[in-house]
Amino acid sequence: MSVDRPSVIPPGATIGIIGGGQLGRMTALAAARLGYRCHVFCPEADCPASHVATATVAAYEDREALARFAELVDVVTFEFENIPAESVRVLSQRVTVRPGWRVLETAQDRVVEKSFFNAIGVETAGWRPVADRTDLERAVAELGRPSVLKTARFGYDGKGQVKIDATTSLDEAWAEMKGVPAILESFVGFEREASVIVARGADGTARCFDVVENRHRNHILDQTIAPAPVTPALALRAEEIALRTAEKLELVGLLAVELFVTPDGRLLANEMAPRPHNSGHWTMDACATDQFEQLVRAVCGLPLGSTERHLDAVMTNLIGDDINQWLSILSEPDAHLHLYGKREARTGRKMGHVTRVFSRNDEAGGKN
């Protein structure tokens, strides 16, 4: 049976964070502003979050370490979803976990995730589960080409996926999956990619940040434009999707919902992430409450903060050698630099981000 402690966890308590990356680091910094301590659980020593919080270094499957960790914290959250749901379930027997492990289980498997979206009336691209080569052939026959084959679990930033076009060998495509469960999705000719982040408290109160546009480079998020250049009506529909998803999940915490905007104005849910999200980093410099503080407020049972955007913003990821621009960025008067403390810059590795802010333009999409 899951443990549930008092709904309000006061300042001075310790927040446990599963995962030690930059999202955990920025959550810990936000928690410190509100008087909380943080303790991260991560298998790698010298992870970014360990520079600003106490750390337990152990495998996610180490039950003894998880038990010790649970004794040291007052509530637990997580900073990414590629962790064993079973480990989070085990923790929930000893300490409050927000969001719950069932939310994690839904978000980390694309088949479960797509099924959930469709069950609550949220439209997605066409999709089929793929367990073997025969399933793949049948799915391609039904969905057509082009389409995209993805691993059902543990894919991110373009990893674990293959585009299937007119010339793609299905044998080769399936071989790239290495025998793991997969999903085939119809290729979507979208106008833009958007996302919306919603926070939901233990009392059911929920608030959305403005809808943003996301632009990718080499399958990795390159820039987020806030607000997205969409109509107020479309922005409202995107927020309604995020709010409905969070409510049906019974989420307590933070949820990002990524969406495709089609040329005919439809919104197709692509995926969800029940944690802080790269597309929400702009909130640190352009909103009354940023996404990391909002997560802390939600998991600790505090009133949610205002999501009002007081500036327009463009967030740019610093990937690999982009980090070498740090000195020139610091000379820009309207640029806010955030570095993650990673020692080695590698191709495709997120080393930091910069948010450039501008006077608010109320004619753009999003809230007014």
pLDDT at 7 over 90: no
pTM: predicted TM-score of the whole model, two decimal places:
0.94
Angle among Cα 64, 69, 71 to the nearest 5 degrees reads: 100
Residue 361 confidence (pLDDT): 82
What's the Cα-to-Cα distance from 199 to each of 287, 289, 307, rounded to whole Å?
14, 11, 10
pLDDT at 153 over 50: yes
Residue 335 confidence (pLDDT): 98
The region, left, alpha or beta by phi > 0 then psi within -120 to 50, assigned to residue 253 is left
Residue type for position 143? L
pLDDT at 2 over 50: no
Look at the block and give the residue holding tokens 């995926």.
Answer: 271
Residues belonging to the binding site for ATP are 110, 150, 155-161, 185-188, 193, 216, 270-271
pLDDT at 3 over 90: no
pLDDT at 327 over 60: yes
Residues belonging to the binding site are 110, 150, 155-161, 185-188, 193, 216, 270-271
* Domains with residue ranges and CATH for the chain: 14-97 (3.40.50.20), 126-186 (3.30.1490.20), 192-359 (3.30.470.20)
pLDDT in tens, 276-300: 999 999 999 999 999 999 999 999 9
pLDDT at 366 over 50: no
Residue 82 confidence (pLDDT): 86
Residue 329 confidence (pLDDT): 98
Proportion of the chain above pLDDT 90, given as a percent:
90
pLDDT in tens, 9-51: 999 999 999 999 999 999 999 999 999 999 999 999 999 999 9
- Contacts of residue 236, defined as CB under 8 A and 6 or more positions apart, other chains included, come to none
